[in-house]
Amino acid sequence: MLGTAGVTSKARTLVLGNPENRHHDTSVTITSLSTVPAGEFAVLSQSCVETLAPGAICAISVTYTPSATGFQNGTLTINTGQGQMIIGLEGRGRPGFLEIGARDLNFGQIATGSSSPTKSIVLNNANPLPVSVGPFAVTDPSYQLSNNCGATIAANSSCELGVTFAPKTSGPHDAMVSITDNALGSPQHVRVVGMAR
């Protein structure tokens, strides 16, 4: 199962049946359903806790709410009057998206050899888990980056990546800032433009 860390996935369904044939005509009583780890894998309802007549089937729905990124193993235990069945579960938690406040910055026109006021790119982590960020890069050395985010943006918080335009050569300067992180959609890019006279 694949899920975004801290967010409950869509349910996956397992069909449990009590086959009917000439060698088997006994009802099966399901007494309980449980998952481990219970905080991440969960049985959506206990509607299958019943007696299955020969030939009957029942659907068990399981959801996944990863508490961290990476792979997670678990189990679904089905207890019956005839014994216990254990089914392996697998999940992988992935981070959500890192929201970028601006997709382009325009520094206008400044004199060669001078520096512009710093503009900010806001990085917003709306996920319930921290997001690792960096490295940051820009394709034109006329732009200088200042990292005010550190290496991690805490859950449900934001920070700013500063950009300063300091051209040493005249003419247009059209570049891309690259933002790398461990969230979905990485790396992300912000266009920066400026003119040096």
Last residue of a domain, one of 47, 72, 94: 94
- Whether 75 and 35 have beta carbons less than 8 Å apart is answered as yes
User: Which pLDDT does position 24 carry in this prediction?
Assistant: 61
Nearest to 6 by CA among 97, 63, 90, 68: 68
- Whether 86 and 75 have beta carbons less than 8 Å apart is answered as yes
Is the pLDDT confidence value at 26 over 90?
Answer: no
Of the two residues 165 and 23, the one the predictor is more confident about is 165
For residue 63, give the CATH number of its domain: 2.60.40.10
Same domain, 141 and 66: no
Same domain, 20 and 83: yes
Q: Looking at residues 47-56, what average pLDDT do you find?
A: 83
Residue 1 is classified by DSSP as -
- Whether 150 and 161 have beta carbons less than 8 Å apart is answered as no
For residue 127, what are the domain limits? Answer: 99-196
Nearest to 99 by CA among 126, 74, 78, 79: 126
Same domain, 176 and 117: yes
Is the pLDDT confidence value at 22 over 80?
Answer: no
Sequence-distant (6+) residues with CB within 8 A of 83 are none
pLDDT tens, residue by residue, 78-125: 998 888 999 999 888 877 788 998 899 999 999 999 999 999 999 999
Same domain, 6 and 89: yes
Same domain, 45 and 87: yes
Q: Looking at residues 22-33, what average pLDDT do you find?
A: 79
Same domain, 85 and 124: no
Last residue of a domain, one of 47, 75, 94: 94
Domain count, the chain: 2
Q: What are phi and psi of 98, to 5 degrees?
A: -95, 125
Last residue of a domain, one of 94, 120, 153: 94
- Whether 162 and 119 have beta carbons less than 8 Å apart is answered as yes
pLDDT tens, residue by residue, 179-192: 998 887 889 999 99
Same domain, 49 and 137: no
Amino acid at 62: V
Q: What percent of the chain has pLDDT over 90?
A: 44
Same domain, 155 and 70: no
